[in-house]
Amino acid sequence: MKVQVLQHVPFEDIGSMRPWLAARGATLGYTRFYADPDLPAPDGIDLVIAMGGPMSVNDEAELPWLRAEKAFLRELVARRVPMLGVCLGAQMIASALGARVYPNAEKEIGWFPVWSVPGGTGASADCFRFPCESRVFHWHGETFDLPPEAVRLASSAACANQAFQIGRHVIGLQFHLETTPESAAALIDHCRDELVAAPWIQTEAAIRAAGADVYTESNALMDGVLDYLTPPPGT
């Protein structure tokens, strides 16, 4: 399996997805936009993982590579290449497909629950099913409208569109199921100034206090998302 990771900042990598990919013998390619924005040819890619970052999808004047990334995502969606977007990555997919991305009413940072949205518009028996409630890690200030043909999969009290699916091959997540204690610490170290008193922003101490069981459940759910996007041939 050939996997292309789109990484926007060095401190937001694939976290718990790494052992899942290693167990399947995946070959990882990286586009690290902060160092070299060159994108590969789309041929032969089996999975795209678009990761997070503190920039906005609307920052094209300051970060012109955003246009190229959106075109790349749009082409691979059209080719029906399996694709996972995480936080900024999900917003990039939405924007690439013509949806609006804009500031959410509240920033959402820390461990907060999301709820599945069964039977949403366009949902089918083949949609990925989240548990009724999951405690997951958030670090986002923007949100998005659902792109065309997308099905909403999850919501939270602070943000209506937390996860979406397009067809059988694209899933976008506002939240970070791949979070490990190390990746959470890296986000805190680089973005600590965002930890201000607000209804949906936890303190650094509260974020760091999450137990091993919270990470285990979140990472297992990420494994389920990856299993769904990359089923064995013939299934």
Q: What is the pLDDT of residues 207-233, one digit of tens each?
A: 999 999 999 999 999 999 999 999 887
> Could you tell me the residue range of the domain that residue 153 belongs to?
2-229
User: What is the domain count for the chain?
Assistant: 1
What's the mean pLDDT in 159-179? Answer: 97
Q: What is the pLDDT of residues 95-108, one digit of tens each?
A: 999 999 999 999 99
Residue 57 is predicted with a pLDDT of 98
235 belongs to a structural domain = no
143 belongs to a structural domain = yes
Q: What is the mean pLDDT of the chain?
A: 95
7 belongs to a structural domain = yes
Residue 133 has pLDDT above 90, yes or no: yes
In CATH, what number is assigned to the domain containing residue 216? Answer: 3.40.50.880
What predicted TM-score, i.e. pTM, was given to this entire model?
A: 0.96
Q: How far is CA 222 from CA 29, 130, 162, in A?
A: 20, 10, 14
118 belongs to a structural domain = yes
Cα angle for residues 135, 112, 180 (degrees, 5° grid): 60
With contact defined as beta carbons under 8 Å apart, do 44 and 81 qualify?
no
234 belongs to a structural domain = no
d(CA 180, CA 74): 30
Report the percentage of the chain scoring pLDDT > 90: 94
Q: Nearest to residue 178, comparing CAs of 45, 7, 57?
A: 7
* 200: CB partners within 8 A, 6+ apart: 106, 107, 108, 109, 110, 112, 138, 157, 158
